[in-house]
Amino acid sequence: MKENLIHYRTSVCNINYHVVWSVKYRRKILNAEVEAFLKQLVVQIGNDKGFTVQLFECGNLDHVHCFITAPPKLSVTTIVKYLKGITGRKLFEQFPDIRFKLWKGELWNHSYYCETIGSVSEENIRRYIEYQSKSY
């Protein structure tokens, strides 16, 4: 009797997140060169860890906006831990002078903001991230 049973996997959609985090002490260190390196690094981390970075922008040289699509098995806490931890270490390696602009050698604030995005507001969030002001 058990041979006739067929197991069907349920299809679960990916979840969209708008994630924002800032530089410690709001130091203005995310210039064009750092942003280009950071963008490439964040996309690579996403590919390695199983999520997609749809958009990435730095705002006012001191904070980061990401529009991320991830499977439900990855929690947003895990995603942010990957992004902040790996980028902090790699940025200090690539740009050692950044460390001297920060006390205690920490790059990112401990906090972050995350918002789950539905399909209705997805376009609004994309537009918001794309039009972050640049001061360089």
Instruction: Residue 42: give its domain's CATH number.
Output: 3.30.70.1290
Which amino acid, 53? V
In this structure, of 32-41, 68-77, 103-112, the range with the lowest mean pLDDT score is 103-112
Q: What was the pLDDT predicted at 40?
A: 98
Residues with Cβ within 8 Å of 17's Cβ and at least 6 positions away in sequence, in order, are 66, 67, 68, 69, 70, 76, 79, 114, 115, 116, 117
Q: What is the mean pLDDT of residues 100-120?
A: 87
Domains of the chain: total: 1
pTM, full prediction: 0.82
Question: Of 77, 72, 68, 73, which is closest to residue 47 (Cα–Cα)?
Answer: 68
- pLDDT, one tens digit per residue, over 63-92 is 999 999 999 999 999 999 999 999 999 999
Residue 135 included in any domain: no
Q: What was the pLDDT predicted at 120?
A: 59
Q: Among all residues, which ones are annotated catalytic?
A: 128
Residue 25 included in any domain: yes
Chain mean pLDDT for the chain: 88
Residue 123 included in any domain: yes
Range of the domain at 36: 2-130
Residue 19 included in any domain: yes
At residue 105, the 3 state secondary structure works out as helix
